[in-house]
Amino acid sequence: MPDITTVWNIADMRGDWQMDGPSLRSGDDLQTAVLISLFTDRLALPTDPVPDGDRRGWWGDDPRYPIGSRLWLLNRVKGPLDLPQRAQDYAAEALQWLMDDGVVATFDISAVWINPDRLDLTIIANRVDGSRVAMAFPQVWTR
């Protein structure tokens, strides 16, 4: 049975569910797993700069298998030159479990400046069977 599909709402910068007739839309399990992995707040590392002291994270996290990514930390950054690399690193960290579990063979992750005030993220999931699933996440960082 497929999972409930989570779709990315660009205007509101959040995941959402959609109706499919009288039921919630289902399927697209890989995209849903990627969305949850990227846009659920992972607990900040003790070494991460967190000005207000809130390390976020999810209360039900198992320290061995944390949920989400640290992309949320970029919201506090003014846009240094290393921002695309940090976004790629945080995305790779968040998606590693999909490779560990054999769901995906590899990911191609690209964070690109669109203008000085916007960073977009593109993820290509290379499945074990050779198929590829491309996903675009505009405005993962804006000033």
Q: What is the pLDDT of residues 36-78, one digit of tens each?
A: 888 889 999 999 988 788 898 877 777 888 889 998 888 777 7
pLDDT of residue 28: 67
Do residues 67 and 82 touch, judged by C-beta distance below 8 A?
A: no
Angle at 54 between CA 48 and CA 59, to 5 degrees: 105
Start-end of H helices in 23-118? 29-39, 83-100
DSSP 40: S
Global pTM exceeds 0.95:
no
User: What CA–CA distance (Å, rounded) separates 142 from 62?
Assistant: 31
Average pLDDT over residues 8-28: 70
> What average pLDDT does range 76-84 have in this prediction?
77
